[in-house]
Amino acid sequence: MSQRTVHSVGIVMNGVTGRMGLNQHLRRSIYAIMRQGGVKLSDSEAIMPRPLLVGRNPSKLEAISAEFDNLPWTTDLGKALADPAYPIYFDAQTTDRRAEAVRQAIAAGKHIYCEKPVCDSLPTALDLFRLAERAGVKHGVVQDKLWLPGLLKLKTLKDLGFFGRILSVRGEFGYWVFEGGAVSAQRPSWNYRKEVGGGIVLDMLCHWRYVLDNLFGAVRAVSCLGATHIPKRWNEAGAPYECTADDSAYATFELEGGVIAHFNSSWCVRVRRDDLLTLQVDGEKGSAVAGLRHCWIQPYGATPRPIWNPDIESPLNYFDGWQKVPEQDAFDNAFKRQWELFLRHVVKGDPFRWSLLEGAKGVQLAEAGMESWRKRAWVTVPEFTTVG
């Protein structure tokens, strides 16, 4: 019997005491990969991640370590980055802390994988990309929604020519985030404080950039209006605070090829739709509506012929004319799937195009959205001509 080769890869995981770092990246990605026996490359070869947990709160780190089979942890980032046993640095801190830590990791020769937004400034984002390129380290940014089952089904439909020429994309994202007073909040308080990198324009326009660019066409211009609908919330300690960041964004995008996309993003909306995120794609030959996991289609030949008459009950049930796309594949956690691709990139040199440059594009669109909001005007989103 041939011997199995296991590539053990150490990962400095900074920010695992936060919601995303703990749940999506440690629990549902890295630890899940460890429990499945690593990233399988072949019957005789696999990649096994070995995380080192980093954060600022020792009691939280100790509790998390105990939950995950006593993983090593430290509050000393410099010491962790100096350890050659951990060639990858991952960052899931708050946005305002990310750029400096990524710079330290690049200087230490670590491969970089980090959450988005990579920072809150396009010049800083491009500088991180240049630093990583000059250092010769591999780098990537989390762009998880590309691996959601619903969006993967949309991509399959597009690749098969189901839509014909795509006309428009409409996105609805969000839910009611409780203020933290009478009912505890489901999101951390920093999300609502601009001074530490909060705000839904910065957060969600980074997501919509890679979704639109990868599925429907490169973004060429944006018109955006932000709002802080709820001005006062309560933090994790139960203390009230004034919200300095936007909690809702209403944005229209002009895409390459003439496609128009509009996304409403809000933490102040009550959900009456199929999912917390829904995308409707309308094309000449057919339409589709996708949520996080499922997707429904209506081809041209099955499109009803409504007639406007508000004086009578509609004779049509507009949900009846849609067909659910069957489950033709098995879908894993979206964050985990991208982690596996990045680990293959580091160990085997497999292609990985979701780089720090792609992260910079997200920051670029968020900045353009905020400029549009300030000016009450459309803002052009130029292509990167050079980043050297």
The CATH number covering residue 288 comes to 3.30.360.10
What is the per-residue pLDDT for 2?
60
Residue 331 neighbours by CB under 8 Å, 6+ apart: 147, 149, 152, 293
What is the per-residue pLDDT for 1?
44
For 19, left (φ over 0), alpha (ψ -120 to 50), or beta?
alpha
What is the per-residue pLDDT for 4?
85
Q: Most distant CA pair in the chain: distance in Å?
A: 77
Domain coverage including residue 369 = 147-333+364-375
Both 316 and 327 in a single domain? Answer: yes
d(CA 365, CA 212): 11
Both 139 and 195 in a single domain? Answer: no
pTM of the full structure: 0.94
Query: Structural domain tally of the chain?
Result: 2
What Rg do the C-alpha atoms of the chain give, in angstroms?
22
Q: Is 180 helix (H, G, I), strand (E, B) or coil?
A: coil
d(CA 380, CA 219): 9
Both 308 and 199 in a single domain? Answer: yes
Both 111 and 126 in a single domain? Answer: yes
Residue 370 lies in a domain: yes
d(CA 260, CA 253): 6
Whether the Cβ atoms of residue 16 and residue 92 lie closer than 8 Å to each other = yes
Residue 48 lies in a domain: yes
Both 151 and 53 in a single domain? Answer: no
Both 100 and 193 in a single domain? Answer: no
Both 184 and 324 in a single domain? Answer: yes
What is the per-residue pLDDT for 386?
59
Both 40 and 132 in a single domain? Answer: yes
Q: CATH no. for residue 62?
A: 3.40.50.720
Both 93 and 171 in a single domain? Answer: no
Both 86 and 122 in a single domain? Answer: yes
Residue 188 lies in a domain: yes
pLDDT < 50 regions, the chain = 1
Residue 388 lies in a domain: no
d(CA 199, CA 244): 8
Residue 380 lies in a domain: no
The candidate with the shortest Cα–Cα distance to 199, out of 246, 265, 266, 263, is: 246
Both 245 and 115 in a single domain? Answer: no
Both 117 and 254 in a single domain? Answer: no
What is the per-residue pLDDT for 384?
83
